[in-house]
Amino acid sequence: MKNAIQILILSFVVAGCAKFQGSPFTDHIESSGSQQNLRQQERLFSDLQGIVPTDQNGIKIALMSDNHHNYNDIDTVVDILNQRNDLNFVVHAGDMTDSAYNFEYDAFISKFTRLNAPAFTVIGNHDAIGKGRKIYKNYFGEYNYAFVYHGYHFIFFNNNRLEFINEGWSLDWLEAELAKNSGVPKIVIQHINYDNADAFTDEMSEKMKSLYENNGVQWVINGHRHVFGFDTINNVRYLQVPRIEDASYLVLSLQDGEFQLESYKGASNENTYQGSLSH
């Protein structure tokens, strides 16, 4: 009974955003498309191929996450980002849905795809409930993927261990990907913070930390915890993207061995952090 009430409430919340046919528990969505993260890479590389020296080409990336309680804020953030012409691409760090119902995916997709800039996603734990794993893969493509752009190796890693434990989840893919492109600084984007005691054993957390520190990882970016966080440990910068509530998002700029991190609520710049990059 409780679950039925929750589904009814959710259907009212997103009723104005998307519709569903039949059961909300199926893997059928109204949104058309497939391999969207790959298609966004094609857009990104339409005028650029290969590794470009970072010192000659800066990068500016917008970051958002965890809209699963704040669908309407996506529209606000998208409208603001669409007014900019300086973004290389946009990243969503997961939990685009609350319970991975098909109509929730449709609601998110209808909003997120309005972005003018290329836009990438990583799956969150809420997105992997029930049929959500299949919906995500059918529309967005592989859970894990990577590309090199403007002198950076971007790695999108599905680290939702508990939701994928029956599918043989491991750190093997991450370890193999980090071994590529020696000398190229790496940016890892994953939904859950690596030191989350509910998701990982101590041994797993330590292994991830070691992989970051020994393979040229410059940034580890996650969502999940709904609040902003920023720390540097052994030359690795750990950035936690806040949930999108109150139209919250981040803009990360990298150029000439320096970074600038801007925290926004709507059009208002709340904080700016600056510093140098050591590798």
- Give residues with Cβ within 8 angstroms of 44, minimum separation 6: 88, 89, 118, 147, 149
Q: How many CB atoms lie within 10 A of CB 211?
A: 18
Q: Count Cβ atoms within 10 A of the Cβ of residue 61 and give its class: 0-12 exposed, 13-18 middle, 19 or more buried.
A: buried
Q: Which pLDDT belongs to residue 58?
A: 87
Q: Which domains does the chain have, with CATH numbers?
A: 2-276 (3.60.21.10)
Q: Which pLDDT belongs to residue 4?
A: 47
Q: Which pLDDT belongs to residue 216?
A: 96
pLDDT tens digits for range 62-111:
999 999 999 999 999 999 999 999 999 999 999 999 999 999 999 999 99
Distance CA 279, CA 72 (A): 39
The answer to whether residue 119 scores a pLDDT higher than 70 is yes
What is the mean pLDDT of the segment spanning 116-120? 96
Residue of higher predicted confidence among 221 and 11: 221
The answer to whether residue 265 scores a pLDDT higher than 70 is yes
Structure tokens at 38: 């790959």
Distance CA 95, CA 68 (A): 6
Q: Which pLDDT belongs to residue 24?
A: 81
What is the mean pLDDT of the segment spanning 173-181? 98
Choice among 141-150, 203-212, 270-279 with the minimum mean pLDDT:
270-279
The answer to whether residue 48 scores a pLDDT higher than 60 is no
pLDDT tens digits for range 218-261:
999 999 999 999 999 999 999 999 999 999 999 999 998 899 99
